[in-house]
Structure 1
Amino acid sequence: MVLMAHDLSSLSPAIALTPLDGRYRSVVAPLVDSLSEAALNRARIHVEVEWLIHLTTHEVLPGAPTFSDAEIAYLRQIIEDFGAEEIADLAEIEAETRHDVKAVEYFLKRRLAAAPDALGEDTVLPRVGEIVHIFCTSEDINNLAYALIIKDAVTCTWLPAAHRLVTDIADLAHEARSVPMLARTHGQPATPVTLGKELAVTAYRLTRQLRRIASAEYLGKINGATGTYGAHAISVPEADWPTIARAFVEHLGLTFTPLTTQIEAHDWQAELYADIARFNRIAHNFATDVWTYISLGYFRQNLAAQGSTGSSTMPHKVNPIRFENAEANMEISCALLDALAATLVTSRLQRDLTDSTTQRNVAPAFGHSLLAIDNMTRGLAGLDVDPEPMAADLDGAWEVLGEAVQQAMRAAAIAGATGMEDPYERLKELTRGRRVDAQAMREFISSLGMPADVEARLAALTPATYTGYADRLVGELDSLVPPLAELTARTE
């Protein structure tokens, strides 16, 4: 059945297939510079260029020329200048080669051939084409390129956005550190807390994941077709190839993998994606809790800050769409990250190409997480704490003081007071299945015959003041949430 006369797939400019490249493009656009196909190709060229420089600078290959500073600058400028024209050139070459890494090799050789136009006829660059990609299999280039672009995506885009979200939660925790709130366990009234303490718990949990993610290792190898340096050793036997390879990988800012098959095993990716998925899930849990607090009236939504119309038919409503959108995108991101982690750690014998297709979906996995983080950050900015509904809920739940009375009776009994028997059962008779108001609770306390100081302390207690060290505990965040610079420094 034809729904419309026009074939939308043929329109120009091209219409985005996915919401990340359409509706939400502005939010996830920073990832294009790290995780797009063009960014991957730029990273491949970077690896090839640096390998060429590395081999010649360290005089690994007998007879190979040494490059001048101007020639090295020319080579590195190829990466600096990589833009629309270069992307088009590379696409044209790949259309002929039908091989993405081979296209990168030919692209670089063309730039070497063109070097005299910039450096003069005396440059040696046109004569070193055979050094390009020497001793490399495609995976030598790909594994390093992927490590570089994923590291860049985490360090430059995802981690700053995630850190901002955690910082905003921590800031709100400090603002609301003394605002008492009725806690709920199993959905039922429980020992009171403060709103700030509950927010601080989330900030603490997310911070632990940020530290793990910031400490991630990005591994790489460059050891040939089956990980033995076979071609290297037979061609240039006097060179210490494992040492040369290690130095090169570390020069790129990556961690060297000494033992591989044809592929770098991608275990580090699985570890990273598991940590990011765990961050997502904690944030997802937070989004559902905030949604609930909004429904209870504990937060008011600032319509102007939210930037939304609310319900299309019920003008009184402001829907918590930022948090609902975040939930959905965290779920999609986690599904992709889980699939990536499960798939990438396996390969048939030396090599199969399942990882090639799989790794091309790293971008949407990060994109949906970044979109969720952005929605939650904007959602938080549009919330105002409303203490009044919290105070009303607390004043309607005096039964939650049953825990305090019971434990005080036990402590008094241990200290030698008489008549403190069966505290749990006595409080259960008073409180279970019924609402208890202030008068009933205070009358019960006065009937217990407790020591005067204990009775006075309990008689002065209210649900709103029964928050223990909640206020003080929020202060733990001061030493727990690291500055962004500290986190990003760990990835260097």
Structure 2
Amino acid sequence: MTLNSLKAISPVDGRYRSKVTDLENYFSEEALIKYRVLVEVEYFIALCEIPLPQLSGVSSDLFEQLRAIYRNFSAIDASAIKDIEKVTNHDVKAVEYFIKEKFDTLGLSGYKEFIHFGLTSQDINNTAVPLSIKEAIAEVYIPQLNSLLSSLEALAEEWGNIPMLARTHGQPASPTRLGKEIQVFITRIKEQFEVLKTIPNAAKFGGATGNYNAHFVAYPNIDWKVFGTNFVEGNLGLNHSFPTTQIEHYDHMAAQFDALKRINTILIDLDRDIWTYVSMDYFKQKIKKGEVGSSAMPHKVNPIDFENSEGNLGIANALFEYLSSKLPISRLQRDLTDSTVLRNVGVPFAHTIIGFKSTLKGLSKLLLNESKLQEDLENNWAVAAEAIQTILRRENYPNPYEALKGLTRTNDTINKASISAFIDSLDVSDSIKTELKAISPNNYTGI
């Protein structure tokens, strides 16, 4: 089936499709089916390697042919499984029947009943989904986040020594440096990224209610817990959750979503700050020939990329929040609510990637309007008051804060001349007056 983006209900598969095509390899229906096939095939191979006596006739020379079932998995294979599902009305059972057909072609018909042996569908789903998330994060999310961080780091360095009037509560405050303000976001993102990397990609694997009942009754002399851990961690590269009910408890997955949400929240904060700086004329934006900023006002160049990012990251966070609060809750040994919810796990990832790309695009269009930053600093000499009163405190000058408060909290214009006149009126040495007069909004930027 060819997807017509104009008919897509979700903008992820419509308007923004080109921005998130990489994610289809991890979160599409076809991808989920492929990951299920992978787990089923690798499980059968693991049973052969125990070895189970009934599988002694399966040569290890066939393992690569078995792995080719998922390595060469195609859209035609996925459609075949969906056709089987129309009869079974069960998605994982359809995968089992599909692999059984493949066994017939490989001359392995006598071993078909060891496909999905002793398992429940959640042993497949609760390994396939975390594996898809792990690989999507590694192969799509992290490279995109690193691109964004690299762009921010380049701007932080470029603007490292650009003085800028700070604003707290929206009011002029002690000056800062533009590069340092960008560095704040870089550090915040990196710290949360480190948290994300510590969270396990956990998977459940233990039979119908997590106790290996079917495995144990068939082969009581095998340590199935050790087998399950070795399979999940050694073969699939995930962390084995044990004990569990029929399903993964999703606590680690919820923690992942919360960490992803915090990174998005930091970027929303960045988007809003850059948007505000644009509105203050600290930044202008590169103009692309032919683009329209407003259908009515020809002069406008909107900070649309940062707005687009904020909106998409907000949607992503709403979904991550729901996923992290809902998935760890299941009635008794399991209900089916997690199944339909997990099918949406790619959606917040998609909105996140769209947000990342929009922020990156917006950053690439920024043009620093340094003269406007200088103008604001020059118009706000009152911010030097903190520096002056601090030095006066050092010199044990009587009531320095109150003296500066009296100067600055008036409706009179505070500028370089009025600050200089105030300094001249102070009963301090000439060397202190020289020190005080050397302070300006441009150089009072800290470390």
Q: TM over 0.5: same fold?
A: yes
Cross-structure match for 2:63? 72
Contact 1:163 1:210 in 2 (8 A): no
In structure 2, the CA distance between the partners of 1:455 and 1:42, relative to structure 1 (3 Å rule), is same
The code of the aligned residue for 1:56 comes to C
The code of the aligned residue for 1:427 comes to L
What is the TM-score with the length of structure 2 in the denominator?
Answer: 0.96
1:197 equivalent to 2:200? Answer no
Tell which deviates more after alignment, 180-189 or 449-458: 449-458
Contact 1:300 1:386 in 2 (8 A): yes
Tell which deviates more after alignment, 210-219 or 137-146: 210-219
Work out the CA distance in 1 between the residues paired with 2:4 and 2:148: 37
* One of 35, 40, 53 as aligned partner of 2:32: 40
1:352 equivalent to 2:335? Answer yes
- Once the two structures are TM-superposed, the CA of residue 230 in structure 1 deviates from its matched residue by 1.3
Contact 1:167 1:203 in 2 (8 A): no
Q: Deviations over 1:149-172 (max 9, x none)?
A: 011111111121112112211210
Contact 1:147 1:218 in 2 (8 A): yes
Contact 1:180 1:390 in 2 (8 A): yes
1:143 equivalent to 2:110? Answer no
Over aligned residue pairs, what C-alpha RMSD do you find? 1.6
Work out the CA distance in 2 between the residues paired with 1:322 and 1:259: 46
What is the TM-score with the length of structure 1 in the denominator?
Answer: 0.88
* One of 390, 393, 402 as aligned partner of 1:410: 393
Alignment of 1:62-211 (within 5 A): 62-116=53-107, 125-211=108-194
The code of the aligned residue for 1:425 comes to E
Runs of 4+ that moved beyond 6 A: 10-14
- Once the two structures are TM-superposed, the CA of residue 12 in structure 1 deviates from its matched residue by 7.1
SS at match of 2:54: coil
- Once the two structures are TM-superposed, the CA of residue 69 in structure 1 deviates from its matched residue by 4.1
The code of the aligned residue for 1:316 comes to H
Tell which deviates more after alignment, 440-449 or 350-359: 440-449
Contact 2:37 2:99 in 1 (8 A): yes
1:253 equivalent to 2:253? Answer no
Q: Deviations over 1:13-35 (max 9, x none)?
A: 98211111011000011110011
Q: How many residues align?
A: 444
Work out the CA distance in 2 between the residues paired with 1:429 and 1:199: 34
1:426 equivalent to 2:426? Answer no
In structure 2, the CA distance between the partners of 1:232 and 1:370, relative to structure 1 (3 Å rule), is same
1:31 equivalent to 2:23? Answer yes
Unaligned stretches of 5+ in structure 1? 1-9, 117-124, 414-419, 470-492
* One of 242, 256, 264 as aligned partner of 1:272: 256
Cross-structure match for 2:47? 55
- Once the two structures are TM-superposed, the CA of residue 211 in structure 1 deviates from its matched residue by 1.5
Work out the CA distance in 1 between the residues paired with 2:3 and 2:169: 53
Alignment of 1:322-401 (within 5 A): 322-401=305-384
Cross-structure match for 1:454? 432
SS at match of 2:7: coil
Work out the CA distance in 2 between the residues paired with 1:208 and 1:424: 37
Contact 1:221 1:245 in 2 (8 A): no
Work out the CA distance in 2 between the residues paired with 1:11 and 1:231: 42
* One of 412, 416, 419 as aligned partner of 1:438: 416
The code of the aligned residue for 1:19 comes to P
- Once the two structures are TM-superposed, the CA of residue 66 in structure 1 deviates from its matched residue by 4.9
In structure 2, the CA distance between the partners of 1:302 and 1:340, relative to structure 1 (3 Å rule), is same
Contact 2:30 2:75 in 1 (8 A): no
- Once the two structures are TM-superposed, the CA of residue 433 in structure 1 deviates from its matched residue by 4.3
Cross-structure match for 1:474? none
Q: Percent identity?
A: 41
- Once the two structures are TM-superposed, the CA of residue 40 in structure 1 deviates from its matched residue by 0.8
Contact 1:303 1:309 in 2 (8 A): no
1:236 equivalent to 2:219? Answer yes
Work out the CA distance in 1 between the residues paired with 2:183 and 2:85: 52
1:22 equivalent to 2:14? Answer yes
Work out the CA distance in 2 between the residues paired with 1:26 and 1:62: 51
* One of 234, 247, 267 as aligned partner of 1:283: 267
Work out the CA distance in 2 between the residues paired with 1:174 and 1:220: 42
